[in-house]
Structure 1
């Protein structure tokens, strides 16, 4: 699924990113599911706030990590697209 750069992602109802202090790791909580995102996924998820569009998220990641913007854009699109297909993230036009 290819998402528009102007799309604004937000967590679906009942989904949230939380730091599990007991385990010392980030978890993505969803109804009847707990996902353990890797460090790259966590950096993307921290920027999903329902206000920033995908282009702004990509720009912020490119700036923070000095990685090729095109590569980040591909990764963010694939990651958020997968979460959208699973109903964990909604992307508004």
Structure 2
């Protein structure tokens, strides 16, 4: 059995906003300005990675070990806010 992959819910769009100098999460009622860590995590929630793959990718990209707990906490909060959903990986 495979772990579910993470992806943004359909009403949200992640993009870089030069005026904000940050990634933002756009939705019909407005936007959320994200810090750098949140932007890096969410841009990897593209429906191709489960949580363990996402953490491994971040650790490699930023040469940072021991970030798993913080990433899991952020993902849990993003799910609580309705930004993310889990889906079965495409085969």
- What TM-score do you get using the length of structure 1 for normalisation? 0.81
Deviations 1:72-91 (A, max 9, x none): 21111111111111111102
TM-superposed deviation, 1:23: 3.4
1:38 matched to 2:52? The reply is: no
The counterpart of 2:80, out of the listed 85, 88, 91, is 85
Structure 2 residues not aligned, in runs of 5+: none
- 1:14 counterpart SS class: coil
Structure 1 residues 7 and 72: alpha-carbon distance in aligned structure 2, compared to 1, 3 A threshold:
farther
TM-superposed deviation, 1:33: 3.1
Written as runs of structure 1 = structure 2, the 5 A alignment for 1:1-93 is 6-68=3-65, 71-92=66-87
TM-superposed deviation, 1:31: 3.0
- 1:45 counterpart SS class: helix
CA distance in 1, matches of 2:30, 2:20: 17
